């Protein structure tokens, strides 16, 4: 029992580190394995990623149960082949659930960061994780757009590879804009504008928040010494 408690404390203490690690695996690792290996690795890393998010809300039993339910539903859906009849039918529902799930996680991380009194390593990892999660939400939204309109994007795009639209989403959010994949429908263009603005506004707000907390913490330390 004591060993279990110590593990739980360790997992919660380093919750942002574990979440960022699993997020990075989910976002970047799959890009190195094309074809079926990409799909299988995406399913595995997605499952681990969804479960890692639950660690953020262990103190709230009701919210934990809700997130566990949606995580399990999402994991089951992601393992259903998209090319199958069932996979095609649940595709939109799966991505909507993931978008809502990620939005909730972002809200919870922001809430914890705002409530923190100083700039800690956990806070830094948290703000990085939020930025990466925004990119994941953009990827999910773009996959939904492409699902309902195969002509929404043009360029070097593989319809069977979700990594292409995920790549496009991060390139858009960071305003790099290489041009190898471009939006070609009104909804896709609106999404590109929205997420590019979100990326830039988030960075500006985060820098202001971190600087403000750092200055506030320094002032408190000086006041204690005096």
pLDDT digits (tens, 9 = 90+) for 130-140: 999 999 999 99
Q: What is the pLDDT, as a whole number, of residue 48?
A: 80
Element (H, E) at 159: none
Confidence of residue 198 (pLDDT cuts 50, 70, 90): very high
* Rounded-to-integer distance, Cα 205 and Cα 218, Å: 20
Query: What is the model's pTM?
Result: 0.84
Is 70 exceeded by the pLDDT of residue 193? yes
Confidence of residue 153 (pLDDT cuts 50, 70, 90): very high
121-125, 178-182, 220-224: least confidently modelled range: 220-224
Is 60 exceeded by the pLDDT of residue 9? yes
Which positions ≥6 away from 164 have C-beta within 8 Å? Answer: 156, 157, 158, 181
In the chain, what are the domain boundaries? Answer: 2-225
Share of the chain above pLDDT 90, in %: 20
* Rounded-to-integer distance, Cα 188 and Cα 144, Å: 10
* Rounded-to-integer distance, Cα 188 and Cα 141, Å: 9
Q: What is the pLDDT, as a whole number, of residue 66?
A: 82
**Which structure tokens are listed for 129?**
């994780």
Which positions ≥6 away from 165 have C-beta within 8 Å? Answer: 139, 142, 143, 146, 153, 157, 181
Mean pLDDT of 69-75: 82
Alpha helix ranges (H) inside the chain:
2-13, 15-28, 36-54, 61-78, 85-115, 121-148, 162-173, 186-225
């Amino acid at each position: 029992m004591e060993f279990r408690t110590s593990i739980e404390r360790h997992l919660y203490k380093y919750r942002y580190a574990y979440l960022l690690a699993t997020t990075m695996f989910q976002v970047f690792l799959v890009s190195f394995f094309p074809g079926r290996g990409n799909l299988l690795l995406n399913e595995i890393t997605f499952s681990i990623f969804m479960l890692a998010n639950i660690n953020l809300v262990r103190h709230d039993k009701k919210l934990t149960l809700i997130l566990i339910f949606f995580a399990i539903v999402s994991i089951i859906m992601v393992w259903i082949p998209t090319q199958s009849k069932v996979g095609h039918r649940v595709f939109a529902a799966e991505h909507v659930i993931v978008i809502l799930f990620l939005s909730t996680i972002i809200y919870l991380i922001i809430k914890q960061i705002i409530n923190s009194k100083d700039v800690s390593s956990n806070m830094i990892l948290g703000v990085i994780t939020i930025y990466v999660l925004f990119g994941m939400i953009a990827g999910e939204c773009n996959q939904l757009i492409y699902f309902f309109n195969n002509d929404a994007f043009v360029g070097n795009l593989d319809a069977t590879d979700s990594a292409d639209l995920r790549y496009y989403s991060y390139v858009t959010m960071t305003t790099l804009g290489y041009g190898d994949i471009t939006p070609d429908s009104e909804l896709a263009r609106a999404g590109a504008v929205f997420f590019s603005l979100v990326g830039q506004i988030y960075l500006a707000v985060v820098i202001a928040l971190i600087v403000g907390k750092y200055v506030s913490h320094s002032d408190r330390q000086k006041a204690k010494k005096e």
